[in-house]
A and B are shown apart, each in its own frame.
Chain A
């Protein structure tokens, strides 16, 4: 019998696994690139004077105040209109990484600023060079202080990676959407997707809160 809709079967697991893999890979790329860029920008912002700060700040502000979905559509349309369209993965990674960077730079900036200047003076008076002060004093202390916030931003990036589906990237939510339109079994599929995100996010967010509590005392 030929029906328009076919029920969910085991042969769909390949498609779902591709979606899971794609979600993981784009999240990892965005978190790694966003963290590295955010570290640099955050450090520059903590170091630089007011004028540079306002300039940096306003660019980052735009990234934070425009919905991610609009940024994704704008960027992929823009590179398309310029005549060299990018693959959804590349365009998605670029936008998601920059978006992550905007949040990470604030996190790291507050981390660097939490290291008191007297500690830097002390390090310098011990004969450390400027780079040694940064590497041995400011980085370790500043980074440790912001670890829970870093984890929070990373988790929200994993969740926001679902939005990359809008430019055609086959991540988990988009594969499930395709399965839904074929099988007409939205509830089962969506609950499965929800459980996947939950399993990743829940333990990590608890770990973050645990670290935060431990550091607060």
Chain B
């Protein structure tokens, strides 16, 4: 092995890498929040009896699930240019991630909602609960339990997929890594550090999520 590792330049640029990691987290948290909001709307639309709404939701979900993430990002970055819409790399990656997150989470939410038998509604009605109370105390706690893990996975997935920002010149963790390695030609060192940082980020997110789950559900999932 005649390759010499030079780690100094990586450590000198650590602040920039950490900054990139922050952007990665930032964009995936935002993509998750917006994705959840849209997914709730889409799930409601999909269960709506009006054909138009449910069809819009279906088309959204199927396109998001059946095309590559990179395709969505290119579409947002290059494709929308045909309509005179020029997005910055950050917005392009964010909107692609929101689009996909919403598509996947719609099915998750719908599944979670439909997994609760309708007898529970009648039972809580017969106990004299209002419908707000029914949702607050009966339906939502059970639903949250069922969609918690799929949501965590989706969040981790968005963190990993935000790395595609490298291809449109976004300055998140991999984009920053790419730029720094092109200045110093220490490709291996920089990407090894980036890989470690991604690993640590995902592990921390999973750890935090399991801590939160233990608090929320008191261990019974």
Q: Chain A: residues with CB nearer than 8 A to chain B?
A: 62, 65-71, 73-74, 77-78, 81-83, 155, 159-160, 162-163, 165-166, 173, 177, 180, 185-187, 190-191, 193-194, 197-198, 201-202, 205
Closest chain A CB from B196 CB (angstroms): 8
Contact of B71 among A67, A68, A82, A197 (CB under 8 A): A197
Once the chains bind, are B198 and A66 in contact (CB under 8 Å)? yes
Closest to B192 in A: A74
Which chain B residues lie closer than 8 Å to A163 at the CB level?
68, 70, 164
Interface of B is mostly: helix
**Interchain CA distance A162-B74 in the complex, whole Å:** 12
Which chain A residues lie closer than 8 Å to B79 at the CB level?
186-187, 190-191
Once the chains bind, are B187 and A77 in contact (CB under 8 Å)? yes
Which chain B residues lie closer than 8 Å to A201 at the CB level?
65-67
Closest to A181 in B: B78
Most interface-central of A66, A68, A205 (chain B CB within 10 A): A66
Closest chain A CB from B9 CB (angstroms): 15
Which chain B residues lie closer than 8 Å to A186 at the CB level?
74, 78-79, 81-82
Most interface-central of A82, A155, A162, A205 (chain B CB within 10 A): A162
Contact with A along B155-167 (1 / 0, CB 8 A): 0100011011011
Once the chains bind, are B70 and A197 in contact (CB under 8 Å)? no
Contact of A198 among B63, B78, B166 (CB under 8 A): B63
Once the chains bind, are A190 and B71 in contact (CB under 8 Å)? yes
Closest chain A CB from B209 CB (angstroms): 14
Which chain B residues lie closer than 8 Å to A69 at the CB level?
163-164, 166-167, 174
**Given the contacts A82-B3, A166-B167, A202-B62, A73 and B187 also touching, CB distance less than 8 Å:** yes
Q: List 8 A-B contacts (CB under 8 A).
A: A62-B199, A73-B191, A74-B195, A78-B188, A163-B164, A186-B82, A187-B81, A198-B62
Once the chains bind, are A193 and B188 in contact (CB under 8 Å)? no
- For the complex, is B127 an interface residue (Cβ under 8 Å from A)? no
> Number of contact residues on B: which range applies?
35 or more
Closest chain A CB from B122 CB (angstroms): 24
Once the chains bind, are A193 and B62 in contact (CB under 8 Å)? no
Once the chains bind, are A71 and B164 in contact (CB under 8 Å)? no
Which chain A residues lie closer than 8 Å to B67 at the CB level?
159, 194, 197-198, 201
**Interchain CA distance A166-B178 in the complex, whole Å:** 12
Once the chains bind, are A166 and B166 in contact (CB under 8 Å)? yes
**Given the contacts A82-B3, A166-B167, A194-B67, A70 and B188 also touching, CB distance less than 8 Å:** no
Closest to A74 in B: B191
Contact of B195 among A66, A155, A180, A185 (CB under 8 A): A66
**Interchain CA distance A5-B198 in the complex, whole Å:** 39
